[in-house]
């Protein structure tokens, strides 16, 4: 069974803790042999506003094609002014291209969510907004949603998560996306 997962998220900052959290959460998937495609800060920062200035019909096609084939999704967004950053929201706007698919938007995909912020309030607000977005896109949010208070040194240069609570959350959301993606992949093959 060929299980595929797409990970989307990060910020414009090199060494983004949001992207580090996203990549950490992919570990259980990679260990299980799942094919994981990561669209991190560098990729989403290069996307023009969806259907805005500089946008061409082929813009973002790799992201859209990967999500189209995926059984599971991981999304990580920082809380900016209490909610999902514009950069991540713009990347999610590209999923409008899936509207007319047989599996529209995120239908039939397990979706794990990660929200980062300096404070708990923005992390929680961002997580809840992400979950609303996923419901709107007909995705299946995993029970675990990660709220991570970020700070310099949260991740080692090798990508190890140095906070027990956040490490456990990230591992759990990755494991739950694995379970959900396997289930959806099996259902699609039946």
Ligand X SMILES: Cc1cc2nc3c(=O)[nH]c(=O)nc-3n(C[C@H](O)[C@H](O)[C@H](O)COP(=O)(O)O)c2cc1C
Q: Could you list the residues that contact ligand X (CB under 6 A)? A: 11, 13, 16-18, 78-82, 116-119, 122, 150
Q: Dihedral, CA atoms, 90, 95, 96, 99, nearest 10 degrees? A: -170
Pairing outcome for strands 83-84 and 72-80: antiparallel
Residue 67 in tokens: 């999500």
Min dist. Cβ of residue 165 to ligand X (A): 16
Number of residues that this document lists for the chain: 190
Instruction: Find tokens 């094609």 and name the residue.
Output: 65
**What is the Cα–Cα distance from 126 to 86, expressed in whole angstroms?**
12
The H or E element spanning position 189 is helix 164-189
| Closest approach of ligand X to the CB of residue 26, in Å | 16
Nearest to ligand X of 108, 174 (CB atom): 174
Q: Give the nearest distance from C-beta 170 to ligand X in angstroms.
A: 14
CA separation for the pair 186, 170 (Å, rounded): 24
Query: Which residue lies nearer to ligand X by CB, 79 or 145?
Result: 79
The minimum distance between CB 83 and ligand X, in angstroms, equals 8
Minimum CB distance to ligand X smaller for 126 or for 142: 126
Q: Minimum Å distance from CB 49 to ligand X?
A: 17
Closer Cβ to ligand X, 13 or 156, answer by number:
13
Instruction: Taking the CA atoms of 104, 107, 110 and 115 in sequence, report the sign of the dihedral they define.
Output: positive
């Amino acid at each position: 069974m060929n299980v595929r997962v797409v990970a989307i998220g990060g910020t414009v900052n090199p060494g983004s803790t949001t992207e580090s959290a996203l990549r950490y959460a992919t570990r259980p998937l990679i260990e299980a042999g799942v094919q994981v495609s990561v669209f991190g800060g560098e990729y989403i920062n290069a996307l023009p506003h969806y259907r805005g200035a500089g946008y061409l019909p082929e813009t973002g096609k790799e992201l859209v094609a990967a999500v189209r084939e995926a059984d599971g999704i991981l999304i990580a967004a920082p809380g900016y002014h209490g909610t999902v950053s514009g950069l991540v929201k713009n990347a999610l706007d590209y999923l409008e291209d899936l509207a007319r698919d047989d599996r529209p938007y995120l239908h039939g995909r397990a979706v794990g969510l990660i929200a980062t912020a300096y404070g708990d309030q923005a992390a929680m607000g961002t997580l809840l907004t992400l979950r609303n977005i996923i419901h709107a896109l007909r995705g299946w949010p995993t029970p675990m949603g990660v709220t991570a208070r970020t700070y310099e040194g949260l991740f080692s240069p090798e990508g190890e998560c140095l906070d027990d609570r956040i490490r456990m959350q990230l591992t759990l959301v990755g494991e739950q996306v694995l379970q959900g993606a396997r289930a959806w992949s099996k259902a699609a093959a039946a």
